[in-house]
A and B are shown apart, each in its own frame.
Chain A
Amino acid sequence: MTTQPARRTLSGLTPKVTKTAGVDRLIKANRPTTVQNDEGLKSSTVSEQASDATPTESAGLTESVRTHSVSPAVPKYLQLQRREARIHVEQADALTMLTRRLNSERRQPNGTTVGERITDNTLIRVAIDLLLQRENEIHGVSEEALAEGLGLEPRRVGR
């Protein structure tokens, strides 16, 4: 009798590759580099367009946000993932007041504005990065405990 090879443990299939790599270059804005045409003339380039980004964009928040925010063709909000969150009423009010102040500071004496429009969501993204910077300090079994652990006054909801 011949010896059968040991059966392998079943562990699922190799994930299917669904993405067709490189096709995104069909969209002009996704082409990364300067193109030199046959006559030696430089075309309009992504790098040139990127230099048109607002000061806030180029001096941006985090590496990941900055990298994605300079694409000239795709609006920033379309490059970000939508994620809803419930927040306290007073947090929402305070955020609104803060965005108003920051947006008024963007106004120049000559009436023009600099930078990009600051929204509640802008501040929430910055706050997330600030939180994640201190992730090693975060411990706790409830929202209150987490806040206290970071030296914040805990909020009491429904008590």
Chain B
Amino acid sequence: MSSGLDRVIAIVNGKGGVGKTTITANIGGMLAASGYRVLLVDMDPQGNLAEELGYTDSEANDDGMALAQTLVFAAEAKPARGIRENLDVLMGGSHLDMAAAGLTLKAQKDPASAKAALAQGLEGLAENYDLIFIDCPPGQETLQQAALAAARWALIPVKTDASSRKGLRDVARRLDAVVTINPDLDLLGIVLFGVNRSAKRVSESAREAIRQDLGSAAPIFETSIRHAEAAAQESRERGLLAFELEEAVLAAPKWWELRRGSGQEHDGPRSKSAVGVAEDFQALGEEVVARITESEATSIPTGPIKAEG
């Protein structure tokens, strides 16, 4: 790992649909709202982070062009600033498909340089941020390798089904490819995503299966992110993060106010489950900060991570 990249976290799983983008956006957004300076890197050619953060149709959305140029031509990384307060984004999108092809060609001549492409791009930026989160694509081996080569930590979301746990195997294979140039890469934790709160046995079985794979010391986050279809859908439709949706829901007039005529008609968010989801992300964010702080306390005496203001 390059110097200065010790707070880079790759959100990764070899399988799609396990919540990588949602977690990247919500943890990043929530930490930014808490005062941390946060950079999100969308390495996914699908560019779904744009929907989560609501910048799909904004002029700033370059569909991954700037990031692709950084990866292939070592151009200076230029994140889009101020997507939220304290939150910048190196945007993903279809240009990353071409970047992946370019990196594959590069890897034939100089494998280490291809793998280190993102790390080099982030080196100049890292000092501006307290935390950097990389949303990794489920496929695209070269892009995943570049992400893992730049990261100090891997955070792996899994669903309770066995197939998403198999995605761990893919991550382990990617790790093998980069561990020579990034030996410090370590597992920050595994988080269960899309969990049905009433299916406690299913959830516990999934945790047990992960412990079987990784050993009893598997760093599984206490927090799991609950399944809330309506909130997830409304979040993406409105480009609001879970905690933003929660604020909007709580601020909306209550049904009895509307019935009484004392509240104004509104077409605002209605997903009450947003409240619970936001609580889950808050708890996960706190665990992420605690684990990094704990690790830093035992390695480099930099003190706990503190938000500004």
Q: Which residues of A contact B216 (CB under 8 A)?
A: 78-79
Asked whether any CB of chain B lies closer than 8 Å to the CB of A37, the reply is yes
Shortest distance from the beta carbon of B166 to any chain A beta carbon, whole Å: 7
Asked whether any CB of chain B lies closer than 8 Å to the CB of A20, the reply is yes
Asked whether any CB of chain A lies closer than 8 Å to the CB of B217, the reply is yes
Shortest distance from the beta carbon of B137 to any chain A beta carbon, whole Å: 18
Q: Which residues of B contact A79 (CB under 8 A)?
A: 216-217
Closest Cβ neighbor of B182 among chain A residues: A37
Q: Which residues of A contact B183 (CB under 8 A)?
A: 28, 35, 37, 43-44
Alpha-carbon separation in the docked complex, A78 to B175 (Å):
25
Given that A38-B112, A44-B183 are contacting pairs, would A27 and B215 also be in contact in the complex, using a CB cutoff of 8 Å? yes
Alpha-carbon separation in the docked complex, A73 to B217 (Å):
9
Alpha-carbon separation in the docked complex, A91 to B165 (Å):
46
Asked whether B186 lies within 8 Å of A24 as measured between CB atoms, the reply is no
Asked whether A37 lies within 8 Å of B181 as measured between CB atoms, the reply is yes
Given that A20-B213, A44-B183 are contacting pairs, would A26 and B154 also be in contact in the complex, using a CB cutoff of 8 Å? yes
Q: Kindly identify, within residues 120 to 139 of chain A, every residue whose CB is under 8 Å from any CB belonging to chain B.
A: none
Asked whether B217 lies within 8 Å of A74 as measured between CB atoms, the reply is yes
Q: Which residues of A contact B125 (CB under 8 A)?
A: none
Most buried by B among A20, A30, A36, A74: A20
Asked whether A35 lies within 8 Å of B217 as measured between CB atoms, the reply is no
Shortest distance from the beta carbon of A74 to any chain B beta carbon, whole Å: 4
Size range of the chain A interface in the assembly? 20 to 34
Given that A25-B175, A27-B215 are contacting pairs, would A36 and B180 also be in contact in the complex, using a CB cutoff of 8 Å? yes
Alpha-carbon separation in the docked complex, A78 to B216 (Å):
7
Alpha-carbon separation in the docked complex, A79 to B215 (Å):
9
Q: Which residues of B contact A23 (CB under 8 A)?
A: 168-169, 172, 213-214
Most buried by A among B179, B183, B216, B219: B183
Closest Cβ neighbor of B209 among chain A residues: A18
Q: Which residues of B contact A28 (CB under 8 A)?
A: 183-187
Choose one: A18, A27, A36; the contact of B214 (CB below 8 Å).
Answer: A27
Asked whether B214 lies within 8 Å of A24 as measured between CB atoms, the reply is yes
Alpha-carbon separation in the docked complex, A92 to B212 (Å):
34
Asked whether any CB of chain A lies closer than 8 Å to the CB of B171, the reply is yes
Q: Which residues of B contact A29 (CB under 8 A)?
A: 186, 217
Alpha-carbon separation in the docked complex, A73 to B299 (Å):
12
Shortest distance from the beta carbon of A20 to any chain B beta carbon, whole Å: 5
Given that A35-B180, A37-B181 are contacting pairs, would A27 and B212 also be in contact in the complex, using a CB cutoff of 8 Å? no
- Encoded as 1 (CB less than 8 Å from any A CB) or 0, chain B from 231 to 253 comes to 00000000000000000000000
- Encoded as 1 (CB less than 8 Å from any B CB) or 0, chain A from 41 to 82 comes to 001100000000000000000000000000001100011000
Shortest distance from the beta carbon of A121 to any chain B beta carbon, whole Å: 17
Asked whether B215 lies within 8 Å of A22 as measured between CB atoms, the reply is no
Q: What are 18 A-B residue pairs whose CB atoms fall within 8 Å in the complex?
A: A18-B212, A20-B213, A23-B169, A24-B214, A24-B215, A26-B168, A26-B214, A27-B215, A28-B183, A28-B184, A29-B186, A31-B179, A35-B180, A35-B183, A36-B180, A38-B180, A44-B183, A74-B215
- Known pairs A23-B168, A30-B214; list 20 more (Cβ under 8 Å): A18-B209, A18-B212, A20-B169, A23-B213, A24-B213, A24-B214, A25-B172, A26-B168, A26-B175, A26-B187, A27-B186, A27-B214, A27-B215, A27-B217, A28-B185, A28-B186, A35-B179, A37-B180, A38-B112, A78-B216
Closest 3 CB pairs of A and B: A43-B183, A28-B186, A38-B112
User: A-side interface residues toward B, CB under 8 Å?
Assistant: 18-20, 22-31, 35-38, 43-44, 73-74, 78-79
